[in-house]
């Protein structure tokens, strides 16, 4: 039997993780693989979540039972997928990775459940997009580790209960609210991933820089961290781009000045807003008098996909108080207007 080292095993896991992220290209795959933390010790941030997970893992190991089913929710890029890989490594079990859109037909979900081995982790990304039939197949599997299969037709229909190995489901979603109640209730542990602080992001950046052999000063790391929208995936993308500038344009380590100048050239401003964010805010201010305006209208006017705006641009704009969601649509705050250099009148001040 081939003996696989822990590192190889982890790389296999991580390869599976990046395989389900279609937005990541081939080059970025190996980049993501190399810089993903492998253990809790190397995983920066989310300290509350880490502490509770460590206890749950310890308890599961002591009881010799699989970990409870886990649901992670929160904006994209905060490390839900990475965390699933870390949990598999810490539990010393394999992980099978998929995403809800890949589980369209009943046989997709049945096939993957039947292929699990005892104790394994099944990771389903974008779990809010699971269809009703797939959800109903999943319920008894999650609750009793059984599959209810039907055979025959009409009057002679029979239901067969088939056991599946005890497994842990880790679901990830950017939209906890879109998950059906019965599915949400079947997760023993539900956790929201929080945006990272600037200090945490600076640590992520220093760690990534050292893996990639990019030299950076502490202030340089903080300068990138401040413009990374609380999101490690963005921080890791920016360090690479700023690293290119430092090498080609300045032939130097990344200093605070180089980071700031490079990010200005990349049109990422001091709050980390990019041109899509700024266009969105300006559109609401200039064309819709500050809002409220519906997301579909905004998306059509910007030529963007409304789901991308909701999932990628909005969470940080909401968190930083630049926009507000109301039942009638999105509104821009006076802070956002001032930040972008618009005058606010007293009506706008009180309306918000």
Q: Which is nearer to ligand ADE, 168 or 236 (CB)?
A: 236
Pick one of 236, 262, 313, 344: the residue that binds ligand ADE (CB under 6 A): 236
Q: Which is nearer to ligand ADE, 27 or 341 (CB)?
A: 27
Told to judge if 81 belongs to the known catalytic residues of this protein, a careful annotator would answer: yes
**37 touching ligand ADE, by CB under 6 A:** yes
**Among 34-42, 158-166, 238-246, 334-342, the segment contacting ligand ADE (CB under 6 A):** 34-42
Q: How many helices (H) and strands (E) does the chain have?
A: 17, 9
CB of 202 to ligand ADE, least distance (A): 11
Question: 226: Cβ–Cβ under 8 A, 6 or more apart, which residues?
Answer: 198, 270, 272
Positive or negative CA dihedral for 277, 283, 284, 285? positive
**85 touching ligand ADE, by CB under 6 A:** no
Backbone angles phi, psi at 170, to 5 degrees: -110, 115
Binding mask 187-206 for ligand ADE (x = CB under 6 A): -----------------x--
**Catalytic pick from 125, 129, 173, 330?**
125
How are beta strands 70-73 and 189-192 bridged, if at all? parallel
**Among 41-49, 51-59, 136-144, 217-225, the segment contacting ligand ADE (CB under 6 A):** 41-49
Told to judge if 125 belongs to the known catalytic residues of this protein, a careful annotator would answer: yes
| Structure tokens, 224 | 């990138």
Pick one of 66, 76, 79, 334: the residue that binds ligand ADE (CB under 6 A): 79
Q: Which is nearer to ligand ADE, 82 or 313 (CB)?
A: 82
Helix pair 232-245, 218-226: axis angle to 10 deg:
120
Separation CA 41–CA 24 (nearest Å): 26
**Among 37-45, 102-110, 150-158, 183-191, the segment contacting ligand ADE (CB under 6 A):** 37-45
- The closest alpha carbon to 138, from 175, 178, 98, belongs to 98
**82 touching ligand ADE, by CB under 6 A:** yes
For ligand ADE, the binding residues in 146-175 under the rule CB under 6 A are none
**Residues 128, 315, 22: CA angle, nearest 5 degrees:** 55
Pick one of 13, 17, 44, 138: the residue that binds ligand ADE (CB under 6 A): 44
For ligand ADE, the binding residues in 95-114 under the rule CB under 6 A are none
Told to judge if 308 belongs to the known catalytic residues of this protein, a careful annotator would answer: no
Positive or negative CA dihedral for 276, 313, 294, 324? negative
| Structure tokens, 266 | 């990349």
Pick one of 96, 128, 207, 331: the residue that binds ligand ADE (CB under 6 A): 207
Q: Which is nearer to ligand ADE, 201 or 332 (CB)?
A: 201
SS3 87: helix
Separation CA 185–CA 182 (nearest Å): 5
CB of 236 to ligand ADE, least distance (A): 6
Residue 150, strand partner residues: 159
How are beta strands 168-173 and 70-73 bridged, if at all? parallel
**232 touching ligand ADE, by CB under 6 A:** yes
| Structure tokens, 85 | 């890989």
Told to judge if 80 belongs to the known catalytic residues of this protein, a careful annotator would answer: yes
**Among 36-44, 55-63, 105-113, 161-169, the segment contacting ligand ADE (CB under 6 A):** 36-44
List of E strands, 183-287: 189-192
Told to judge if 237 belongs to the known catalytic residues of this protein, a careful annotator would answer: no
**Catalytic pick from 80, 129, 229, 331?**
80
Separation CA 202–CA 225 (nearest Å): 5
Return the active site residues. 80-81, 125, 174, 233
- Residues in contact with ligand ADE by CB under 6 A are 35, 37, 42-45, 79, 82, 204, 207, 232, 236
């Amino acid at each position: 039997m081939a003996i696989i080292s822990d590192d190889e095993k982890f790389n296999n896991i991580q390869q599976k993780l990046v395989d389900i992220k279609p937005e990541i290209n081939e080059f970025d795959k190996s980049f993501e693989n190399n810089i993903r933390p492998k253990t809790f010790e190397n995983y920066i941030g989310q300290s509350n979540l880490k502490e509770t997970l460590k206890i749950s893992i310890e308890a599961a190991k002591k009881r010799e039972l699989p970990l409870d089913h886990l649901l992670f929710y929160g904006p994209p890029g905060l490390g839900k997928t990475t965390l699933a890989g870390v949990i598999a490594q810490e539990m010393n079990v394999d992980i099978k990775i998929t995403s809800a859109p890949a589980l369209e037909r009943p046989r997709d979900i049945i096939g993957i459940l039947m292929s699990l081995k005892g104790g394994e982790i099944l990771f389903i990304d974008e779990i809010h997009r699971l269809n009703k039939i797939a959800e109903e197949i999943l319920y008894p599997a999650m609750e009793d580790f059984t599959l209810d299969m039907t055979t025959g037709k009409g009057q002679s229909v029979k239901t067969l209960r088939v056991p599946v190995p005890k497994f842990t489901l880790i679901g990830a979603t950017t939209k906890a609210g879109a998950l059906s109640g019965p599915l949400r209730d079947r997760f023993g542990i539900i956790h929201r991933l929080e945006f990272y602080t600037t200090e945490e992001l600076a640590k992520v950046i220093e760690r990534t820089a050292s893996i990639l052999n990019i030299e950076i000063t502490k202030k340089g790391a903080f300068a990138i961290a401040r413009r990374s929208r609380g999101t490690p995936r963005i921080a890791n993308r920016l360090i690479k781009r700023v690293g290119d500038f430092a090498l080609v344009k300045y032939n130097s380590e990344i200093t605070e000045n180089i980071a700031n100048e490079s990010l200005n050239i990349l049109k990422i401003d001091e709050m980390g807003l990019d041109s899509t964010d700024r266009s969105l805010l300006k559109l609401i201010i200039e064309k819709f008098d500050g809002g409220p305006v519906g997301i579909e209208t905004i998306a059509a006017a910007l030529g963007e996909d409304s789901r991308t705006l909701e999932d990628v641009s909005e969470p940080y704009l909401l968190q930083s108080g630049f926009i507000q969601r109301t039942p009638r649509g999105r509104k821009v705050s006076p802070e956002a207007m001032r930040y972008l250099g618009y005058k606010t009148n007293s009506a706008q001040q009180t309306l918000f």
